[in-house]
Structure 1
């Protein structure tokens, strides 16, 4: 990774859905995200989730979403965290940028933005088999705080980092 790497976060717009859906169809994304429905205008407009396209020196290459852990119409598995906490999910969409440290760097930058915006805790829930993602989260400062369990989205390892 270049020391000059500049990550920019742009709120996802309807015009980004084609790019997002192309990324979601990549084998390295499908492995961990599965074959959910494609993003649509209703999903993008949800007030509970902020969706971001991440650019590297101007080139779109990744996706990250952060969401309120409170306010869901069901009991979210992070609902026990302090008020204002955010959950995150992300992936690198462009295969040629995998394995170069960009994931760690852009996730850390986004987590810093969330803390600067007042989040007391940021949580994530990787698949326990995704040891690569878990190692990235640990390098950023996340730690597992419970054993893996089955959630509405599959088996997860709950992890969090505190400001």
Structure 2
């Protein structure tokens, strides 16, 4: 197992986040970099959401966040048990794509979360078969198809 580190996102990381969010492989699923950066800035002082930069050997390459399933009005997670966490992530550095890092750091992060929380969930776009496969490899199972508040269909996946 690789030794991934997860440090809190800071204001100093926002230029890096912007660069990653503008990368073609990220903006397909995380569109509108300006909106995403504004949300990150807004949530930096929000204790309900934990935003992290993922690194390997002191090289940052991914972003991950998690929050209580009921911290925000997200109908796709309404059926999850109290205390469940919801996560989302992306690999920003293209050099880390296709090498198993996504499965590795998601698995490492979920192991940490599962010590304190009964369930971890993710809502993946139904056409994003690559990400669905990555979550499955990290131990997630399909829970149900659900519609987001914006009307998108997602595959809700859970790690028990």
TM-score by length of 2: 0.90
1:29-108, aligned counterparts within 5 Å? Answer: 29-36=26-33, 37-40=35-38, 41-72=41-72, 74=73, 76-108=75-107
Q: Which residue of 1 aligns with 2:25?
A: 28
Q: 2:4 aligns with which of 4, 7, 10?
A: 7
**Count of aligned pairs between the two proteins:** 156
Matched, 1:120 2:155: no
TM-score by length of 1: 0.89
List runs of 5+ in structure 2 lacking aligned partners: none
**Matches of 1:161 and 1:88, distance apart in 2:** 11
List runs of 5+ in structure 1 lacking aligned partners: none
| Contact 2:74 2:149 (8 Å CA) reproduced | no
| Contact 1:104 1:140 (8 Å CA) reproduced | yes
More moved, 12-21 vs 42-51: 42-51
User: Secondary structure, in 3 states, of the residue corresponding to 1:145?
Assistant: strand
Report the Cα offset of residue 141 of structure 1. 1.5
**Matches of 1:96 and 1:71, distance apart in 2:** 34
User: Secondary structure, in 3 states, of the residue corresponding to 1:107?
Assistant: helix
1:30-86 deviation line (CA, Å, top 9, x unaligned): 0111115142432222222110000111100000000111233x3542132121110
Q: How big is the alpha-carbon RMSD for the aligned residues of Structure 1 and Structure 2?
A: 1.5
